[in-house]
Each structure stands twice: as structure tokens, then as C-alpha cells.
Amino acid sequence: MTRLIFLGPPGAGKGTQAQVLAKHLRISHISTGEILRQAMKEQTPLGIKAQSYVDSGELVPDQLVQDLVEERLSQPDSVSGWILDGFPRKVTQAAFLEELLAKTDQGGERVVNLDAPDEVVIARLLARGRKDDTEEVIRRRLEVYRNETAPLIDYYGKRERLLTINGNQSQEEVTAELKHILAS
């Protein structure tokens, strides 16, 4: 039973690696950004709530994201395993997730920290060419990531659930390293 949580700075390749691995392992790739967009598109009760925050440029509150994750993990395709990408982002969310997984007998998750140096990540994100990806904005996002998510690395490290992968190598090398670590 494979249950993985992907951590790493923006541009480290989490989404790409999660998709490749999920396909390889035949499990669900659960991206919280994707869940949010889907819920808003389908106008589910949670989606309608989320839409009001998004429309006003606000961050979707933790409780709402947690409700979406809980709803998604209760779907039948999650039973055989999953990769969570984009959640948890802070220790309070990790504690919520731990309780949820214990309650639903879905424990045993491992956490993959895809690490890459800031300069590498900045270069990658600038190369994507999205109009909101200016160097200033990217540096700010990295700062927020390091402040909010770094404590998660300690949190999972203390629980001996953390696997750190060097994200500063080719996509293929990262995939190979992930497959190797998960097979062992």
C-alpha cells in the first residue's frame, strides 16, 4: 500500500514526479490545487465556498482545504494508495492529516521531500514563462515556503517518515531515485 506526501519548494518538480509515480504505481495523484479547481468547476458545496475566496483574491482557508482533502481521501480510488501533492503545507495541516489517516485506517504514509536549491528553482520557474512568475514573486513564494513548510520537514523527520530526494538533477534521475527508494 503506497501512500506518499510530496513536499518541496515551488519548481522542485513535485507535480511532475507525482504524476509519473502515480501512473507507475497505479495509484491516485491527489493535487490539492487540482481538487480545488475541480470542486469549483463542478460547483460542489465546498467548491462554491472556495470560489468566493478565489474570486476575492483570498487564500482558501485551511478548514476548507482540509474538508476537500477529507472528501477526496474517502473516495473509492484512494483505498489502494495515493500521492498527496500540495498538502499539508504546515504543521497544523499535518496534524489534521495524521488524525484523519488514523481514523480512516490509511496510515503508513511516507513523506518525500524533493529538495532543490533556490537558484535552481528560480531558474526553472522563470523558464516556465508564466506572466506571474517574476523573480521577485518567485523569491517571495520561496520565502513563504521555507517559513511555512520547513517545520514540516522536522515534523516528519522526527516521526521517521521522511525521505529526502535531490531535486537538482534531471527529471529521469529523480524518477529513478524515487522508484529505487520506494522499492527498498
Q: Is 0.85 surpassed by the pTM of this model? A: yes
- Residues annotated as part of the active site: 14, 89, 128, 130, 141
d(CA 88, CA 8): 11
The tens digit of pLDDT for each residue in 103-157 reads 988 888 999 999 999 999 999 999 988 887 899 989 988 988 888 888 999 999 9
Is residue 115 a contact partner of residue 164, using CB atoms and an 8 Å limit? yes
Place of cell 520506494: 182
Consecutive H or E run containing 114: strand 110-115
d(CA 31, CA 35): 6
Beta bridge partners of 113: 7, 164
The tens digit of pLDDT for each residue in 41-79 reads 999 999 999 999 888 878 789 999 999 999 999 999 998
What domains appear along the chain, each with residue ranges and CATH number? 2-30+81-183 (3.40.50.300)
Closest CA to 5 of 71, 75, 96, 124: 96
* Cβ contacts of 165 within 8 Å, gap of 6 or more: 112, 113, 114, 115, 174, 177, 178, 181
Beta bridge partners of 29: 83
